[in-house]
């Protein structure tokens, strides 16, 4: 949703992530600025300049853009899908702390169990 006059200055890394998330949702800068009660030029500075944004504003920005605060700051985040959940996640996180040779033994056992369970599940279907 490119509107207005494009800037010739590069975005900050934070600003680039905010810009991409905003564009993905189809919001204009003016629309997002309105949600914060600030002017469009003030909001544009968030995407372009190294500015100080209050923590509550960062949290609201992440919520509106449907991204995590960690994403906005460029920190790796856990994938919301595809990984173990609950107790299994905690166990696998502890597994990551073991020496590699111990991890490999456990992984072989888990893979064999999953392969056997997966094959049995497919046959019942």
- What domains does the chain contain, in order, with CATH numbers? 13-72 (1.10.260.40), 86-124 (no CATH)
61, with CB counted inside 10 A (0-12, 13-18, 19+), is: buried
Distance of CA 27 to the CA centre of its chain: 19
Residues near 14 by beta carbon (within 8 Å), at least 6 away in sequence = 50, 72, 73, 74
pLDDT band at residue 89 under the 50/70/90 scheme: low
24, with CB counted inside 10 A (0-12, 13-18, 19+), is: exposed
pLDDT band at residue 6 under the 50/70/90 scheme: low
**Helix 29-36 crosses helix 40-48 at what angle (to 10 degrees)?**
110
What's the number of CA atoms in the CB half-sphere (13 Å) around residue 44? 13
Structure tokens at 99: 């020496």
Does 30 have pLDDT greater than 60? yes
Question: Residue 2: its pLDDT value, please?
Answer: 52
**Do 96 and 78 touch, CB atoms closer than 8 A?**
no
Mean pLDDT of 59-84: 76
Question: Residue 26: its pLDDT value, please?
Answer: 87
Mean pLDDT of 86-113: 79
pTM for the whole structure: 0.55
């Amino acid at each position: 949703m490119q509107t207005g006059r494009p800037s010739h200055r590069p975005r900050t890394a934070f600003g680039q992530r905010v810009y991409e998330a905003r564009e993905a949702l189809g919001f204009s800068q003016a629309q997002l600025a309105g949600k914060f009660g600030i002017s469009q030029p003030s909001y544009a500075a968030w995407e372009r300049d190294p500015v100080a944004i209050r923590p509550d504003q960062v949290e609201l920005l992440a919520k509106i853009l449907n991204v995590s605060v960690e994403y906005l700051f460029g920190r790796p985040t856990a994938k919301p899908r595809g990984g173990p959940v609950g107790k299994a996640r905690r166990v696998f996180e502890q597994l990551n702390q073991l020496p590699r040779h111990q991890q490999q033994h456990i992984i072989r056992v888990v893979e064999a169990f999953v392969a056997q369970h997966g094959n049995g599940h497919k046959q019942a279907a």
